[in-house]
Amino acid sequence: MKAKGKLIKNKKYKPLKYKSLLIILITLILFNCKNESKKQLSEGIEGTPLYLKYAKGFTVEDFGTYKVLEIISPWPKADKTYRFALLNKDYDADFWSKEQKDYDETLEIPIKKSVVTSTTHIPALELLDVEQTLLGFPGTEYISSKKTRKRIDDGFIRELGKNEGINTEVLLELEPDVVIGFGVDGNNRTFETIKKSGIPVIFNGDWVEESPLAKAEWIKFFGVLFNKEKEADSIFNTIEKEYLEAKALAKKVNYQPTILSGAMHNDIWFLPNGTSTEAQLLKDANTNYLWKDSKGTGSLSLNFESVYSKAKDADIWLSPSNYISKEALRNANSHHAMFNAFKNNHIYSSINTTGTSGGILYFEMGVARPDLVLKDLIKICHPELLKNYDLYFFKKLD
């Protein structure tokens, strides 16, 4: 009975004790699961990579509540990869306050307020219908787009000075979510000042890519920042399709017109090397670019004699530097008039197609729309192929 009485006496308390232990156990399990989940985020469950067919300068992995953007080639021979954590609206703020040390910057997406620093960035914003996010730009007079020019004229986009020395005081007033920059190396004091103020700077390296379609594919970079990956993919697929169809059309022609490019400055003739995107466009247009076999980075620098001996009888002269007319070309150097392409009036340039403030359309849109550039070249070199197509960028020099 004693034992039985003891059992009855404790009956009252044991369930409470078990219940407390059960609560503690559940709490520990949930805490450990939460920590394990966070551990997986930081140490790396595999994300879904963004499909890139041509571009090599950036990568993106999607982990659901966040994405990781890596800029591999922000400029030639870059020795560092820049990593950015792009956080969706349901991210864990406490967790990322600790995790951000593993990234160059963390920022929330979609971007609502932006600053870009190259006219080549403008078409991507417009194609994705996010141009209204643009608050400032260095050198607004260089923008040729009618849509963005109207926003400048209406006071929605502030002038930020020159790209080499952005007016940081005005930029900080705008409080953008991000600044999309570009640079020839990693030495830009202005961008460092902007970053120290707490505004992320992401370098766009589209210009470093080695093919026209690779450069155009950077619209997917903007698609990620604005949560418009599907739209960016669709836009690029259309551009790629138009480009490849134009290339296939040009292959049907047997004759390849010979091409001269560039012009002289201070007795040096500058023209694209054979591995440049300009040379690839000429190849895809089924032409015989006379320096197609040259290799290297940057442009070729040649003397007049070597250019004249090779190209005096060239059929077509494309992109004669920044000369706006045949007269300007002759006045700069009388040797220019010695070429048959000059005598036959077969000189075409993109320099004269500008916006209302003088911005050159080719410099702004050429990277984003290589399909239009290629069609222009085909129209010039094989006019019988695109009878109903009007030149978009290029014009014959008067």
- pLDDT, tens digit, for every residue of 259-314? 999 999 989 999 999 999 999 999 999 999 999 999 877 789 999 999 999 999 99
Q: Does residue 177 belong to any structural domain of this protein?
A: yes
Q: What is the pTM of this model?
A: 0.87
pLDDT above 50: residue 3: no
Average predicted confidence (pLDDT) for the chain: 89
- Number of structural domains in the chain: 2
Identify the CATH number of the domain in which residue 186 sits.
3.40.50.1980
Range of the domain at 228: 48-239
pLDDT above 80: residue 22: no
Q: If we measure between CA atoms, which residue out of 193, 176, 221 comes closest to residue 57? A: 221
Residues 233 and 259 in one domain: no
pLDDT above 80: residue 106: yes
Amino acid in position 14: K
Residues 96 and 210 in one domain: yes
Q: Does residue 373 belong to any structural domain of this protein?
A: yes
Residues 74 and 197 in one domain: yes
User: How sure is the predictor about 378, in pLDDT bands with cuts at 50, 70 and 90?
Assistant: very high
| Domain limit, last residue, from 239, 267, 283 | 239
Average pLDDT value for residue range 131-160: 96
Q: Does residue 22 belong to any structural domain of this protein?
A: no
- With tokens 């990693």, the residue in question is 186
Contacts 24+ apart (CB under 8 A), 302-309: 302/268, 302/269, 302/271, 303/267, 303/268, 303/269, 304/264, 304/267, 304/269, 304/333, 304/335, 307/260, 307/269, 307/271, 308/335, 308/338, 308/339
Residues 274 and 234 in one domain: no
**pLDDT value of position 398:** 87
CA-to-CA distance for 41 and 103, rounded, in angstroms?
13
**pLDDT value of position 21:** 47
pLDDT above 60: residue 161: yes
**pLDDT value of position 31:** 46
Residues 59 and 190 in one domain: yes
The predicted-structure confidence for 166-220, as pLDDT tens digits, reads as follows 999 999 999 999 999 988 887 888 999 999 999 999 999 999 999 999 999 999 9
**pLDDT value of position 28:** 46
Residues 230 and 290 in one domain: no
Cβ atoms of 338 and 312 within 8 Å: the answer is yes
User: How sure is the predictor about 98, in pLDDT bands with cuts at 50, 70 and 90?
Assistant: low
Q: What percentage of the chain carries pLDDT values higher than 70? A: 87
